[in-house]
């Protein structure tokens, strides 16, 4: 399926939430980071700060979001680190926080970040649907994906899930 077909399919099924099951997120996050490190530039450190806890989520769809965010981080981080953290905000609210020490996202591009085809760079490098698709997946996981606009040392995305 092309990226456009995937996006349209997600948009059409927006209100159909994904099936959830209990899983250890530490194991999942460690595995995702291991795969993502292949794309990191030399000298970029991978950090996973995720406790050994179980939450109810959809592993495949959570992995799709985190993989996309990690791949973006890898593309824009020349040195420093890329980290993936997990925080339990309340009994039913969890956050996955992905932070990098890369170039950051220009202020003028931030408001278009989750809009389809509003790519912040040349479209020859992508189709402009990655973050909008991740945002739809987050919605279908009963959550939100947001850019932390207060973070200034690179880029930080916060995936908040309500379970």
As its CATH architecture, domain 3-162 has 2-Layer Sandwich (3.30)
- Determine contact, residues 83/47, Cβ cutoff 8 Å: yes
Tokens of 92: 């039913």
Half-sphere exposure of 150 (CA within 13 A, CB side): 1
What pLDDT is stored for residue 157 in this prediction?
Answer: 98
Does the pTM surpass 0.85? The reply is: yes
What is the mean pLDDT for each group of 10 consecutive residues in the chain (163 residues)? 83 90 95 96 96 94 96 95 96 95 88 73 60 95 95 96 90
What pLDDT is stored for residue 117 in this prediction?
Answer: 67
What pLDDT is stored for residue 118 in this prediction?
Answer: 59
What pLDDT is stored for residue 46 in this prediction?
Answer: 97
What pLDDT is stored for residue 110 in this prediction?
Answer: 85
Scanning the structure block, which residue is given the tokens 């993936």? Answer: 84
């Amino acid at each position: 399926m092309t990226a456009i077909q995937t996006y349209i399919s997600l948009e059409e099924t927006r209100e159909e939430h994904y099936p959830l099951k209990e899983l250890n997120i530490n194991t999942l996050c460690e595995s995702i980071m291991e795969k993502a490190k292949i794309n990191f530039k030399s000298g970029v450190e991978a950090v996973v700060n995720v406790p050994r806890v179980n939450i109810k989520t959809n592993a495949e769809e959570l992995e799709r979001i985190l993989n996309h965010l990690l791949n973006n981080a890898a593309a824009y981080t020349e040195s420093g680190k890329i980290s993936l953290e997990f925080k339990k905000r309340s009994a039913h609210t969890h956050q996955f926080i992905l932070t990098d020490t890369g170039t950051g996202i220009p202020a003028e591009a931030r408001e278009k970040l989750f809009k389809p085809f509003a790519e912040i760079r040349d479209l020859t490098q992508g189709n402009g649907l990655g973050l909008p698709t991740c945002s739809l997946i987050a919605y279908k996981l009963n959550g939100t994906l947001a850019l932390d606009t207060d973070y200034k040392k690179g880029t930080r995305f916060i995936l908040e899930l309500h379970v």
